[in-house]
Structure 1
Amino acid sequence: MCSINYRIYKKKNKSLYTIKSYVIRKRYMNKKKKQFILLNWKNYGIDFCYTQLNFSLLFFLNQKIIVEIGFGDGYSFIQKVLNNPHINFIGIEVYPLSIYSAIKYACLYKVNNLKIIFHDAVEVLMYMIPDFSVFILQIFFPDPWFKLKHHKRRLINNNFIHLIEKKIVYKGYLHIRTDCHLYSNNIFTLMSQNSIFKRIFFKKFFFPLHNIYVQTKFEKKAILLNHDIFDYKYQLYFK
Structure 2
Amino acid sequence: MIKSNEILYTVKKGNEARYRRIKSFVMRAGRMTKGQQNGLEQGTPLFVLPLANSPVDYDQIFGRLAQRSLEIGFGMGQSLLKMAASAPEQDFIGVEVYRPGVGALLNGILTQGLTNLRVYNCDAIEVLNRCIVDNSLDHLMLFFPDPWHKSRHYKRRIVQASFAELVRTKLKVNGILHMATDWKPYAEYMLKVMDIAPGYHNLAESGRCVPRPVDRPITRFECRGERLGHKIWDFKFEKLT
Question: TM class by shorter-chain length?
Answer: 0.7 to 0.9
Correspondence for 1:175: 178
Checking the alignment, whether the CA contact within 8 Å between 2:36 and 2:107 is kept in structure 1 is: no
Map residues 142-161 of structure 1 onto 2, 5 A cutoff: 142-161=145-164
Checking the alignment, whether the CA contact within 8 Å between 1:200 and 1:235 is kept in structure 2 is: yes
Residue-by-residue CA offset, 1:47-97 (whole Å, 9 max, x unaligned): 112121101111032101100001111122201110011110000000001
User: Which residue, 165, 169, 173 being the options, matches 1:166?
Assistant: 169
Greater Cα offset, 141-150 or 69-78: 69-78
Once residues 30 and 156 of structure 1 are traced to their aligned partners in structure 2, the CA distance between those partners, rounded to angstroms, is: 32
Correspondence for 1:20: 23
Identity %: 28
- Consecutive unaligned residues of structure 2, counting only runs of 5 or more, are 1-18, 205-209
Residue-by-residue CA offset, 1:201-235 (whole Å, 9 max, x unaligned): 36544xxxxx5553112211111111111110011
User: Please, what TM-score do these two structures have when normalized by structure 1?
Assistant: 0.86
Matched, 1:122 2:125: yes
- Consecutive unaligned residues of structure 1, counting only runs of 5 or more, are 1-15, 206-210
Once residues 143 and 36 of structure 2 are traced to their aligned partners in structure 1, the CA distance between those partners, rounded to angstroms, is: 26
Question: RMSD value over aligned CA atoms?
Answer: 1.8
* 1:150 aligned counterpart, secondary structure: helix
Once residues 30 and 105 of structure 1 are traced to their aligned partners in structure 2, the CA distance between those partners, rounded to angstroms, is: 13
Change in CA separation of 1:228 and 1:32 when aligned onto 2, cut-off 3 Å? closer
Matched, 1:188 2:191: yes
Aligned residues: 218
Correspondence for 2:59: 56
User: Which residue, 221, 228, 232 being the options, matches 1:229?
Assistant: 232
Checking the alignment, whether the CA contact within 8 Å between 1:70 and 1:142 is kept in structure 2 is: yes
Correspondence for 1:66: 69
User: Please, what TM-score do these two structures have when normalized by structure 2?
Assistant: 0.85
Residue-by-residue CA offset, 1:24-69 (whole Å, 9 max, x unaligned): 1222336884464132212211011212110111103210110000
Change in CA separation of 1:173 and 1:33 when aligned onto 2, cut-off 3 Å? closer
Correspondence for 1:133: 136
Once residues 86 and 42 of structure 2 are traced to their aligned partners in structure 1, the CA distance between those partners, rounded to angstroms, is: 25
The one-letter amino acid paired with 1:63 is A
Matched, 1:109 2:99: no
Correspondence for 1:44: 47
Checking the alignment, whether the CA contact within 8 Å between 2:134 and 2:169 is kept in structure 1 is: yes
